[in-house]
Structure 1
């Protein structure tokens, strides 16, 4: 890969790679030490390729080693090297790329505490170790401390561990609180020996990838312990136990494996089918990767005996029903099973374990099918606005006014909307926007966006006026799309707004009408003499406090202020105040100086 000729050949501050540190970690530390805002900016200045360093390009790793004074051989050995879209090499071993951490980089808090202490508590002194990169590694082999995931990851900063740690305020200072003892599992110890000493993990099996053996061990352990065919549904700590169980049985030999599976068949009263072979722990592996286990699994299926042939349940077990339903949903909606199951779990249609309990399994699965179908058929905000023929800002206003409601889901990062609900809204508007008998097309017809802008009236409120029949002269221009073709009368809309604005006095308007200070009005509200309603006047403004006109008039029927009393007595407010003081008339709110008096008393002065 090409390296720029004009690259800087010397760093102001050069941090060499630590023992076992991959290249992307060295790159991140040097970028931070040399005051670069990101590794991308640093690479541009140095003539390196960020993507090339992260993917283990030999030429760029050698250039980085020379730039930082590191050993190129050590840097290359401990850096993940992407062989293809599917495979990555690390320490001379091949992994599936998905088995190497990227956005979910994890660190040992104890190692980082030591790094920070040695570097004078500078973030650029903390380094990633290659032993933390495989996803099956859950703890640090040196301290036997559980690994913790770095905060803040996106596709541009996932390998920039220093920037990720600094962006989360206070995260580095909380490392001591995150230290948690966790011993290496049997599988993790064997995997590290394989990586460091090139030993064989299972003597009687051919040389296989570590992550493929991990998947096999997880599936076998889950079947032996629980009889389940879906081990990924188990919590992380439980999965570590299942991997150790499956790996220990596998390492003990073929005879031990057959005996344990035979006992599990009887213990769980189940049978193995070819579904177990094709859809078990190795369901995402290619034929070459699972070749070492093919004969073993087919042999177990063939020689398992006649368990459970005489005892058939009315329905299949809940787990089987859920798996079948998810498969059917995935095929019907053209989505992958890996998307369908998490979507149902995160939206609460399936429990965390993935299998509902009780007798309502079939009912819940029907609800799951309906929900996923609605999600797949849903549209985003931009497409929804296009369907309605309005802009994004007006659409957001309709959503905030609850004229349009998003589908209740957190499976998507952004709100999703039902296309059927949008069509229903358009049909309701079209049904109302029909010229009534005796109403000719007026000269003052304006569009919905124009009306909303000119009269400062939310679009949702205009649609409510239309549905209530207060805009009888409205019609739809068929040459335009959706709500863009709605035409309303300026005069009719203005009259409707004025009719409804009578009940919408803001607290500030009431204060001016009563000629009270803000503190005095707050005392009136606190005493319960006026009822305040806090709400949004439309979807585009902040919440405000309102008093209905009826409440305001009811208040004046019982109480008066100097200004309102002056209007009845034909005096000035100052003259009314002088009369009140002369008669020593007390305010109606005891212990308060709010100038609110009993109506009969003040008008009799």
Structure 2
């Protein structure tokens, strides 16, 4: 039987009540049901018993129970279902097709916007009809402000029992909310975004492409991590402080991945060192994404944080970061490289700085944050690990310090590692290979052999630098060295003194640039330009004193010059005339001076331009 004034719903079998209330925007089913019971002068439990409604099922957002409430009140089932959280299991609920952690909506405090409540109470009708409504977004523990009125949500009651807490009509009747003044508060972009999402409206920020629960959690965790030094624990933060932290994080994340990575870098270098580890530098953001928030919904954020750590942190190979194991180390710091190689930290930094891997000590940052590519420096670090000091080299090669200094002056036995603030270091394999290159084909001789003498001793006696003796062997001017029986290393290296004397005398015929210029009568710069431009033959050989490769003029080279060119000096000698007379003759005959690509070489003449002049002079000379 249908009572007059009621309308039966064919799907639920329920009929709309005559005494009803209007469903307000954003109101969940439990709030509407509580007001409906009050409108019919019943306690909510009694009303549910009379109407055959399961109150617990309504609180859980059961679709059939919510539909019953909609039919009894005359509300739209679709709209009421959209504004009522529907529990999926013990941990998850759904609102506007967004899966949300139930804990976010299950706080014991009932917080409300007093301005919204005042508007509800100002509506026309009796006292029951005017009972305020709960808005579903107020249930979310990360909602702090009503964006519509710019008011801080005020806690009106605290109740651990869900049935009593959400029997809102009874609680409003008990609470003295009409005499409480709401606190005005600045509405942040975060507040507008969160309220819109909880009403089912999708925004256009970078965060809107991700799962809602994951996005809000990351905003919360990032905000708390940014304030970790001020508020180490969540319990230390008051509502306004937490709201400010989340708002700051939202402003950052809404600008996209690049902004997210930038703030991660700031957090990373805001104090401490890599020794702290990512968990300490990124606080609860890293801890929760590492241990608890590991579902696919959080993977985009975990991937960004993980990639940032892999790209900017000296993570060791085999170490797991946010569920992924790094197969091979990408970065080293001075500290981690020092630990792996065993090279003291300050020494290694100086070695790395000298080779451009890091900045020198006193520049850049401290050693723990001086990072460099581990793969690029792999071979360098392997050599650095076995580098030895001068003292070790003296023992290894059986040399004295003065002998090492002498060879270094001749550009031999150059340290493998040297630079500012770094004592010379040698790769022992390279040092040994240097000496072995002279000893490998050496014949063994006994002490007292008159033809052979130690290199250092022969150099001292004959005034030939030991570096020059070694260079003679490399150039082939000495056929071989020998090895002294019973000795090792550099002290065993013997040179044939007769061969050395002969080789030394052969170098006396070489002309350097200055001597060559004087020999042909040109200024030194002009002679050097002629040689370096390749217009006259020259020979490159090592400077006996400095060991540097230089251009010299051999007798053969000098003959080549005379075949191509002549100068006033050489023509004067050749013709037996004063150079002034030769100069006058060349001017009269208009013989051009040599110039190539704009380069001037002074009083230099090509033989082919002198052919007619020399022939005329020869014919006019008396027999």
* TM, length-normalised to structure 1: 0.45
Greater strand share, 1 or 2? 2
* TM, length-normalised to structure 2: 0.44
